[in-house]
Structure 1
Amino acid sequence: MGFTQWWRRITGKGNDDKAGKGGKGGAPASGASGGKGGKGGAAKGVKAGPGAPDHLKGVAQPKGKLGRMPQPDRSRPVLGVDSTRSGWLGALLESGGHGTPHLIAASSLQELLEKAGDVAVVAVTVPLGLPDEGRREADVQTRRFLRDQGSTVLTTPVRDAVYAISHSEANAFNRAASGSGVSSEAWDLRRRMQELDAWVRQDLPALVVETHPEAAFATLAGAPLTSRRRTGDGAAERRSLLATGGVYLPTSAPHGIATDDVLDACAAAWSAHRVKNGEATTFPGEPQRHSDGIPAAIHV
């Protein structure tokens, strides 16, 4: 199943799901319409995760290997991307890595990249590379790096849990494969993880990597921050840190976009520029690969 066909099936009109419900990830209240198998979109032939109850089938998953991506062209700008309640927010940062990013809102990653134009690196704040069991080293090591701010690092659900048809089934998949359930935040973000998982299976004109905003701010500060990101003081500190890195927050944002989304997208753009120039730190140092073959690592 190609990306366009899969994405339309997952997000197309006629689903009971509405983007924008369920928190920042824009997750719907119930399972996606995808594949055969009855109400909720359960797909025939999709095996349950290791040890999961037999009745758990999940929804159809995208097929195909990781698409080709070029080596970054340093003459091009970069794009930092954060998920929002209604889709995605991009911060387009000029090739020199300094200045005020141009903000772009879009309902899909495909649309976002088309609006951004030719870029060298796309750094996304959503997990890229889903584990089959256990926890990703990217999450474990970034959480350790951030110390007291480690709770800002999402514990990525296992692949079958991301494609479960309900939160309760996701919990069952995840407990069987990793020993713990799926947080509400991770469940709310599942549609973004699904879209990214499918999107990178086509050939893309830019290098796509995962990043983490708090890890970027800690790198800028030389230590993990103690302020909370959604407080006034926390936002001011993060705005100031971006300025020390030569990135200045835009004075306005697209309608409905929160300040923390703007901060996170701009931090992602700062990290994308470091990736482009070969300066980024990677957690883990050697990306981990699961059955999907997608390199799983957080770059800052």
Structure 2
Amino acid sequence: MSNDDTVVGVDACPAGWVATVITPDGANTETYGEFADLRNAHDHAKHILVDIPIGLPEAERRRCDQHARDLLGSRRSSVFWPPCEAAANADDYEEANQAHKDTVGHGLSQQAFYIREKIVEVGAVVGDKYDGQVKESHPELCFAALNDQPIAYAKSSQQGRAL
């Protein structure tokens, strides 16, 4: 395998971003303050899989989120609805929630509100010309694919970690 076979799994963290880099030689973790720095450091990677929504809903909920929720069954609540652009750019939760209701017709979860800056940051790096290297990924969907079914336990539970 060459560097092109590198896969990078990414999640937001208090320091910015944590990346698990899987290469032919093994795996290691790295942290980055900015998503742009992470992408630049791994511009040779085959895939950069990030646990952050890419692309904001415009007038209704994203179909990919509904499909993911349907696939996960009892674990559906682990997929939350990302904010619309107006909500993602709001200064406080109440403003964001109202903007989301006005645009999408549903309220916004506090979880989605509190990661809005990370969503906007990734979107700015990916831009409108999505090249396919950076892909939205969801841990629960990955676990389901690896186990041929959704995992019935939370990933933070002892049973979930074991599975």
Same fold (TM over 0.5): yes
For 2:113, which of 183, 187, 194 is the aligned residue?
A: 187
Letter in 1 for 2:59: E
CA–CA distance in structure 2, aligned partners of residues 204 and 163 of structure 1:
21
- Counting matched residue pairs gives 162
Q: Deviations over 1:141-188 (max 9, x none)?
A: 000000000000011111111111211110111111122221111011
Query: In the TM superposition, what is the alpha-carbon distance from 1:92 to its structure 2 partner?
Result: 0.9
User: Which residue is 1:215 aligned to?
Assistant: 141
Structure 1 SS opposite 2:101: helix
- List structure 1 runs of 4+ shifted beyond 6 angstroms: 202-206
Q: Distance in 2 between matches of 1:204 and 1:148?
A: 32
The runs of 5 or more residues in structure 2 that have no matched partner are none
What one-letter code is carried by the residue in structure 1 that aligns with 2:134? V
Q: Is the 8 A contact 1:128 1:197 kept in 2?
A: yes
Q: Deviations over 1:27-62 (max 9, x none)?
A: xxxxxxxxxxxxxxxxxxxxxxxxxxxxxxxxxxxx
What is the alpha-carbon distance in structure 2 between the residues aligned to residue 170 and residue 231 of structure 1? Answer: 32
Q: Give the structure 2 partner of residue 230 of structure 1.
A: 156
> C-alpha root-mean-square deviation of aligned residues, in Å?
2.3
TM value normalised by structure 1: 0.50
Distance change in 2, residues 1:93/1:150 (3 Å)? same
The structure with the greater share of residues assigned to strand is: 2
2:8 alignment counterpart: 79
Gaps of 5+ in 1: 1-72, 238-300
Question: Contact (CA 8 Å) 1:104, 1:116: kept in 2 or not?
Answer: no
Q: 1:92 aligns with which of 21, 32, 54?
A: 21
Instruction: After TM superposition, give the deviation of residue 128 of structure 1 in Å.
Output: 0.2
Match of residue 175 from structure 1? 101
Identity %: 27
Higher helix proportion, which one? 2
Q: CA deviation at 1:236?
A: 2.5
| Residues 1:124 and 2:50 are matched in the alignment | yes
- Cα distance in 2 between the residues matched to 1:117 and 1:135: 31
Q: Which has the higher contact order (CA 8 A, sep 6+)?
A: 1
